[in-house]
Structure formats: structure tokens, C-alpha cells
Amino acid sequence: MDGDVDKARRYREHATEIRKIADGIGARNTQRILISVAAEYEHLALLLDGRDYPDRDLATFKKPP
């Protein structure tokens, strides 16, 4: 179980790093792809937490706050 908690934390860290990279890129298509990868990492983390991500498809294209 602790392994899942660690994995979920790492997935969230990866998502944050990818979003930071996306913020520095001017190409919209590349940004969109990176944000969708970050959303997938968040989804994996939530699955490990035993939850699902209800607005996953919508969140893929939203820029984080």
C-alpha cells in the first residue's frame, strides 16, 4: 500500500513538472499535448488513491491555475 502512495506522489510530481515545461512553450499544440500527459499522470495518481477523475477529458485541455 505504501508503494501506491509513493507512486501517486511521484505521478503528481511528474504532472507538475510537465505543466511547468508546458508553460514555457509557445507552440499551442505542444502545450496541449504536454497538458494532456500531465492530466494522465494525475489520473494515474487518483486511480492509485482509489478514486477516479470525473472530468478527466475536460481537464486535459485546461491550463492549470
pTM above 0.85, yes or no: no
pLDDT tens readout for residues 11-56: 999 999 999 999 998 888 999 999 999 999 998 998 888 876 555 5
Query: CB-based contacts of 42: which residues, under 8 Å, 6+ apart?
Result: 11, 12, 15, 53, 59
